Chain A
């Protein structure tokens, strides 16, 4: 401990005001660059559709990591002589500080780096973490921001990555399967209803018809549950898409005389 203290003292003894200012300018430039990228690129991505939007959004955290690494490589030699002893002293002290004082913070920082490498979620992905569902808006150094369908921003520390199940709806692509459910009273022609609901899937202008449109059915105690599965044109259309499928499906089924089941109010409370 004493050796490390002496090493640190030696490492920083040669720092001059000029070097400090120079380092501060480099850091400021890096921060400014990161700020501009974080503001500009998502804005541009918002004007594009399809894959181009996802690629642009995904490039933001990578660009930021690159800038941070380059900044460290540039700033350290400005402040201290990059000898082996100095590096051991600085990183040793840094490790201790992070280990004790900022354990959780460091945990999230490291998970953030792993996130960029393993990519369990990227900007533009629709994910569910701990029951919260939304689109990943940005991936920060420590945490990711998701926006829920109700326009609420939720901050998810990257540290959750280690011990939480993360469900990713589109996993970096623009294909996100949606499911519209129909709970129907029994005693109807099941095959006809399946065919009708498949037609509903193909009739919706939101449907990406080159992807499968599938109807599955399950027999429940109260009747039959149909699940119409299809892909919207873009993941951000998912709620309008499900609404459209539900509305069209309800119309078709009503016209065909198929009854929906409804749970009595007392039972649903």
Chain B
């Protein structure tokens, strides 16, 4: 594979798609490494010594932005644009013969937005199809089946044309009867019995299946991680996506600039803060995690907060300004400590399956009903997990993800490669 795509990439997918082997964590300063290690160690040692169920709270006195202001300054990305960018990147890779397989697998860390993007491919949902129309393959209600039933189920699916599975983690359960669907699909993909398709897969799910089927070399791709520079460009792109207005963000402690990344041509040279590098590291280069932390770190000036209208936050004509709290002053969710394995089982299962309802959590973890309820409520109080209102599925929160991953790793669980 090529080292990396050198062509211009869409701002919604900075860096484009790369091979999984090329992914590397954004660089971390020595100071940040030490701080993180000490914080993690003290969090573990504090087990049982302090109240660990307090939700997230900020440690500064500056007023937070309102939801309306956040929707203008740091809105959620346009997943339709991301879907287009993913397709463009795949087409580029096919053109350069970097990708030669009929079925492309995109294994991305949680909160990368791949699932949300793939359900918005042309032909799915409201988007009209200009060129090819995609066919969505949805999982069956009952995932527990034997090999024969799995064969029959896949035979019934139309996998001849361009087909897409937005999230492969929806097709299995970590149960002795829950492996058949993906095993059968991988066999068909490897033997070339399916037409051109696109499979999105959570990196945690992928890590499991790489171990389960070590010989299935499917050459997965992944979005390039957001390093400080890409992250800055992406946040600028998000801020301008609503109304095209640029953003200026400065640190609350020393006034150094965070955004824009580049100096405006007519302005004097600005000193930039190292916040973006810290944010890229803290979020492991994952867009959804970075955006969640970014939203929490944004602050308004008191005089701005008095104004309800977000347009009042102008900083000169066509601009918008806000303040950013250093990461050290931001108290991110901390893990409830427990000597019992159940919390680890639950969190690991949620990441492996990209969210589960209570019945399925109990099925894959073996954690019984009362214990499960207690553990979930503890985790929810600590802002580490949340329950989807419509789906009833429990998920890890983007803010809680970095600490969940770190704790699972230190507790001996297999973690993803991202």
- List A181-212 residues whose CB lies under 8 Å from chain B: 196, 199-200, 202-203, 205-206, 208-210
Other 20 A-B pairs with CB < 8 A, given A49-B44, A252-B176? A47-B47, A48-B410, A49-B410, A49-B412, A52-B41, A199-B176, A199-B179, A202-B208, A203-B174, A203-B178, A203-B179, A209-B207, A209-B208, A210-B207, A210-B211, A213-B211, A233-B413, A234-B411, A237-B341, A244-B366
CB 8 Å contact bits of A207-240 with B (1 = contact, 0 = none)? 0111001000000000000000000011001000
CA distance A48 to B44 in the complex (A): 6
The reply to whether B176 and A200 contact each other, CB–CB distance below 8 Å, is yes
B45 at the A interface (CB under 8 A)? yes
**Chain A residues closer than 8 Å to B207, beta-carbon distance:** 209-210
A-B contact pairs, 28 of them (CB 8 A): A44-B45, A47-B44, A47-B47, A48-B41, A48-B45, A49-B44, A50-B410, A50-B412, A174-B412, A199-B176, A200-B176, A202-B208, A202-B211, A203-B179, A205-B174, A205-B348, A205-B366, A208-B412, A208-B414, A209-B211, A209-B414, A210-B211, A213-B211, A233-B411, A233-B412, A237-B341, A244-B366, A251-B176
CA distance A196 to B411 in the complex (A): 28
Q: State whether A205 and B411 are in contact (beta carbons under 8 Å apart), knowing that A44-B45, A48-B45, A210-B211 are contacts in the complex.
A: no
On B, residues with C-beta under 8 Å from A are: 41, 44-45, 47, 174-176, 178-179, 207-208, 211-212, 341, 344-345, 348-349, 364-366, 409-414
CB 8 Å contact bits of A36-59 with B (1 = contact, 0 = none)? 000000001001111010000000
- How close is A259's CB to chain B, nearest CB, in angstroms? 18
CA distance A96 to B284 in the complex (A): 63
**Chain B residues closer than 8 Å to A160, beta-carbon distance:** none
The majority secondary structure among interface residues of chain A is: helix
The reply to whether B176 and A49 contact each other, CB–CB distance below 8 Å, is no
CA distance A56 to B208 in the complex (A): 30
**Chain A residues closer than 8 Å to B411, beta-carbon distance:** 49-50, 233-234
| Chain A interface size range | 20 to 34
On A, residues with C-beta under 8 Å from B are: 44, 47-50, 52, 174, 196, 199-200, 202-203, 205-206, 208-210, 213, 233-234, 237, 244, 248, 251-252
Among residues of A, the one whose C-beta sits closest to the C-beta of B411 is A49
Q: State whether A234 and B45 are in contact (beta carbons under 8 Å apart), knowing that A205-B365, A205-B366 are contacts in the complex.
A: no
Highest count of chain A CB atoms <10 Å: which of B175, B176, B212: B176
Among residues of B, the one whose C-beta sits closest to the C-beta of A244 is B366
**Chain A residues closer than 8 Å to B47, beta-carbon distance:** 47
- How close is B405's CB to chain A, nearest CB, in angstroms? 14
- How close is B334's CB to chain A, nearest CB, in angstroms? 15
The reply to whether B176 and A248 contact each other, CB–CB distance below 8 Å, is yes
A203, A209, A210, A244: the one contacting B175 at CB < 8 Å is: A203
- How close is A6's CB to chain B, nearest CB, in angstroms? 57
Among residues of A, the one whose C-beta sits closest to the C-beta of B337 is A47
**Chain A residues closer than 8 Å to B413, beta-carbon distance:** 208, 233
CA distance A4 to B41 in the complex (A): 55
The reply to whether B412 and A205 contact each other, CB–CB distance below 8 Å, is no
The 5 closest A-B pairs by CB, nearest first: A233-B412, A209-B211, A210-B414, A234-B412, A49-B411
**Chain B residues closer than 8 Å to A248, beta-carbon distance:** 176
CA distance A14 to B45 in the complex (A): 50
**Chain B residues closer than 8 Å to A252, beta-carbon distance:** 176
CA distance A156 to B352 in the complex (A): 43
The reply to whether A47 and B364 contact each other, CB–CB distance below 8 Å, is no
The reply to whether B364 and A205 contact each other, CB–CB distance below 8 Å, is yes
**Chain A residues closer than 8 Å to B178, beta-carbon distance:** 203
